Structures are given as structure tokens and as C-alpha cells.
């Protein structure tokens, strides 16, 4: 049994989650052989913590390593396109954190904090060019794209899919959300680095989930996926309102430069059914990860974040010290609900199990590059909808720009 060997790009927050998930893969021989980070000292510290053998001086050195089978990309969004393409050219399978890619204002010559004001039609074209380029290079070099959308693998979602299969009911509406009180990652404040705000950064999760569920239903009922037909969306900056600025803002992140902190998307699928997706950086009380499915004969509600299997009370925030409670909770004082295994509930170990099996047994992963591409498409169509104040039909949009070359030079 040949061991699958992984090269990890990045040594930040999500890299730790991926490492813990890889350590739980069973039945498939795998090893995270090496790591590369922009800061070598950080990579060395990461490698020491996890017993990783190799620390690379640069990304190309990782790609030149013939022992590496998979490159796992845990880098900021702006780097995904080039890292994925370079990995594919090197014949390495790809694990890429969400979103697969985005639009970052290529060719924009103005102030970087004005990137988010570029016309959204240009952003849509750029994002789709980037996504299509990744998929084309992967196909050309016969490598797999494992799109790291953990929600698809979350145990509550897996149970929901089994219930849907047994019920044989038709999905009428899906509602899903990821929200919290704001990212602490510095790059997330800037469109030219993140590719968008809460809609892209948080909305990727629920959007990927609802798209996947309609694919799942379509394959069950008619042997082919049900795709998104159109979107209507709105975005906003609630932390810039006078109401917010006139009151204490110490609990909610308000350092956004040119990205939104609130978004809502209504999706219409080919079969006329609907989905409502919400994502914002203005929700206190911990992260919200929910899924509600309404069908012709049942209702299924999933919560991938909250749990009450452990309850704890402390009269002061400092009593529990450094012990982790749950993501984005603002205080450890009062009654809290410590998560026994938050990563497991959100599907990270199950995700990496599928990816390892996909490469080992030479099959498609459940969450693949095409899902990542469709998520990018819906998100940037949603940005266009919010800008223009109208419904955007995806087929009509693509037909209208199919022959357009687009301009790389942008001015505001």
C-alpha cells in the first residue's frame, strides 16, 4: 500500500484544522510530508509541532519534490488560482480551501481599498476566468481537485441526506447560514486580497451546501443534478451605519475597508424551488452554522455549530483560562456550551477521509472542483445582482459575455 504524501501550503489557523483531520484518516496510508509558509520560521514551528519532516524554502521546491502526491492549499484567497494551476502543472492532486478562487481586481491601478468598487460584471468575468483556468489545468494534467467544503461532510448533513433519500420527498426550499461577529484575519478587510466580504468568505459554506443538496436530490430523482438558474441578492455594511457608530462597537469587528459585512441571497433552481442563504459578520453569540430543508413530506433542521452535550458555568471570563469553548464566542462568563469536537461536527475529518480515498482509489471526491466553480459563479452573480438591483439569470449572463474579451485595464 503506497503511502499518500501531502505538502501543506500555509501554517495558519485552517492548516491546524487540516492537520488534525489528516491525523484521523483511517484505512488509507497518508503522511503530511512537508510544509511551506511565506514565513519560514512559522513553517518550522508548525513542522515541529506536528512532526513534519520537510520544510520548503519556496513553493517551487515543494512542487519539485517527487515524493509529494497532494498539495493542500491553505493560503489566502488571492493566491488560490496560481497555486492550484502550478500544482496541476506539476502533476500534483489539489486540496483547496474554500473559496476555490475569486476576483481581486486584476489590472486595477487605483487605490487598493477601492478594489471593491470595481463594476461587478468585470468581477464576475475575472472570477469565472480564474475558476475555469484552474479546472482546465487540472483536467489537462489529469489531477483531482478536492474542494475543501467541510459542511458537505458534517455528520448532521450526512444524516439529513439519508433522511431525504428514505423520505423520497421533493425539496421545496432550503435555508442555510454562516454568520459570526467578524473575521480577525487581516487580509479579510480588503477585496484585493480576499475577493469579497461576508458573502464570499462566509457565504461559500452555505452556498456550497445548498448547491450540493440539489445536486444530490437531482441525482437521486432523475439521474442528473439540479442546477442554479438565477439569483437575487443584497449586501450591506451594517457596521458603517450611524446606529452602529454611535454605540459601543467593541464586540463586533468593524475594520472592513471595501468589503461587505452582511449579505443575503435568494436562489432559484432549474426546477423552480428556492434556497435562502445568509452570511454576515454582525452576529454575536458564537458562529451560526445552520441548515433547514423543507420538503413535500418532511422538515429537517441541522445545526453544525451549537450543541448542548456539555454545559458549563463560570461567573467570570478568566475562570476557564485558555480552554477552548466554541468558535467566535465573545466571553466564557455565564453559561456556555463547550464543543467536545467542533471540527468533527463540521465535517473536517470526514472531508479529508474522502479526499484521501479519492486519490488512493482514483475516484472523484464528493466535493470537487466543479462544485467550487459553481459556488464562485453564484457568489459573483449575487454581487452583480446586488449592484444592479435585479434578478440575474446565470445562463443569460454567461451567454451575454461569452464572446466578450473584457478589458484588463480598470479605472474608477
Please give the pLDDT value at position 405: 56
Q: What percent of the chain has a predicted confidence (pLDDT) above 90? A: 91
Q: Provide mean pLDDT across the span 311-334.
A: 93
408, pLDDT greater than 90: no
Query: Which helix or strand (DSSP H or E) is residue 129 part of?
Result: helix 120-140
The set of cell numbers assigned to 264 is 443575503
Please give the pLDDT value at position 299: 98
Contact 127, 103 (CB under 8 A): yes
Please give the pLDDT value at position 291: 98
Q: Provide mean pLDDT across the span 191-195.
A: 97
CA dist., res. 197 & res. 193, Å (int): 10
Same fold, 4-147 and 151-360: no
111 φψ region: left (φ > 0), alpha (ψ -120 to 50), beta (else): beta
CA dist., res. 69 & res. 5, Å (int): 5
Q: Residues near 346 by Cβ (< 8 Å), separated by ≥ 6? A: 150, 151, 154, 289, 304, 305
402, pLDDT greater than 90: no
Q: Residues near 29 by Cβ (< 8 Å), separated by ≥ 6? A: 1, 2, 3, 4
404, pLDDT greater than 90: no
Please give the pLDDT value at position 274: 98
Please give the pLDDT value at position 128: 98
Measured between alpha carbons, how far apart are the two ends of the chain, in Å?
57
Query: Which helix or strand (DSSP H or E) is residue 122 part of?
Result: helix 120-140
407, pLDDT greater than 70: no
CA dist., res. 11 & res. 56, Å (int): 12
94, pLDDT greater than 80: yes
Please give the pLDDT value at position 307: 78
Q: Provide mean pLDDT across the span 318-332.
A: 92
Label residue 403 by pLDDT band (50, 70, 90). Answer: low
Query: What is the tens place of the pLDDT at every residue in 223-248?
Result: 999 999 999 999 999 999 999 999 87
Please give the pLDDT value at position 1: 64
CA dist., res. 383 & res. 114, Å (int): 16
Label residue 380 by pLDDT band (50, 70, 90). Answer: very high
Residue boundaries of the structural domains of the chain: 4-147, 151-360
Give Cα 19 to chain centroid, integer Å.
17
Name the nearest CA neighbour of 357 among 146, 158, 161, 213: 146
Q: Provide mean pLDDT across the span 33-56.
A: 97
Domain 151-360, CATH homologous superfamily name and number = Dihydrodipicolinate Reductase; domain 2 (3.30.360.10)
40, pLDDT greater than 90: yes
Domain 4-147, CATH homologous superfamily name and number = NAD(P)-binding Rossmann-like Domain (3.40.50.720)
Amino acid at each position: 500500500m503506497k503511502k499518500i504524501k501531502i505538502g501543506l501550503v500555509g501554517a495558519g489557523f485552517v492548516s491546524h484544522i487540516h492537520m488534525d483531520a489528516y491525523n484521523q484518516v483511517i484505512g488509507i496510508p497518508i503522511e503530511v510530508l512537508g510544509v511551506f509558509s511565506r514565513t519560514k520560521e512559522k513553517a518550522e514551528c508548525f513542522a515541529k509541532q506536528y512532526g513534519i519532516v520537510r520544510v520548503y524554502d519556496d513553493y517551487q521546491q515543494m512542487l519539485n519534490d517527487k515524493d509529494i502526491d497532494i498539495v493542500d492549499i491553505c493560503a489566502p484567497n488571492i493566491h488560490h488560482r496560481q497555486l492550484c494551476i502550478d500544482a496541476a502543472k506539476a502533476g500534483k492532486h489539489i486540496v483547496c480551501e474554500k473559496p476555490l478562487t475569486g476576483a481581486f481586481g486584476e489590472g486595477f491601478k487605483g487605490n487598493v481599498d477601492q478594489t471593491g468598487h470595481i463594476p461587478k460584471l468585470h468581477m464576475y468575468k475575472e472570477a469565472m476566468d480564474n475558476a475555469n483556468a484552474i479546472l482546465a489545468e487540472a483536467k489537462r494534467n489529469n489531477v483531482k481537485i478536492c474542494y475543501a467544503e467541510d459542511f458537505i461532510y458534517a455528520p448532521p448533513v450526512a444524516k439529513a441526506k439519508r433522511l431525504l433519500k428514505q423520505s423520497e420527498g421533493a425539496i421545496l426550499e432550503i435555508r442555510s447560514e454562516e454568520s459570526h461577529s467578524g473575521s480577525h484575519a487581516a487580509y479579510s478587510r480588503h477585496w484585493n486580497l480576499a475577493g469579497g466580504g461576508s458573502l464570499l468568505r462566509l457565504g461559500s459554506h452555505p452556498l456550497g451546501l445548498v448547491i450540493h443538496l440539489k445536486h444530490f436530490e437531482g441525482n437521486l430523482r432523475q439521474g442528473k443534478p439540479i442546477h442554479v438558474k438565477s439569483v437575487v441578492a443584497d449586501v450591506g455594511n451594517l457596521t458603517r451605519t450611524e446606529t452602529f457608530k454611535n454605540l459601543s462597537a467593541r464586540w463586533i469587528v468593524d475594520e472592513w475597508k471595501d468589503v461587505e459585512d452582511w449579505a443575503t441571497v435568494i436562489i432559484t433552481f432549474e426546477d423552480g424551488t428556492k434556497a435562502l442563504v445568509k452570511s454576515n459578520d454582525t452576529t454575536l453569540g458564537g458562529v451560526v452554522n445552520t441548515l433547514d430543508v423543507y420538503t413535500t413530506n418532511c422538515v429537517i433542521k441541522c445545526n453544525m455549530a451549537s450543541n448542548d452535550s456539555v454545559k458549563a458555568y463560570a461567573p467570570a471570563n478568566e475562570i476557564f483560562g485558555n480552554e477552548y469553548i466554541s468558535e467566535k464566542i465573545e466571553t466564557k462568563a455565564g453559561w456556555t456550551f463547550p464543543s467536545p469536537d467542533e471540527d468533527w461536527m463540521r465535517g473536517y475529518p470526514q472531508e479529508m477521509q474522502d479526499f484521501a480515498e479519492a486519490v488512493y482509489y482514483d475516484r472523484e471526491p464528493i466535493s470537487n472542483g466543479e462544485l467550487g466553480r459553481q459556488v464562485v459563479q453564484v457568489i459573483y452573480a449575487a454581487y452583480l445582482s446586488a449592484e444592479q438591483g435585479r434578478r440575474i439569470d446565470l445562463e443569460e449572463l454567461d451567454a451575454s459575455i461569452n464572446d466578450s474579451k473584457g478589458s484588463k485595464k480598470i479605472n474608477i
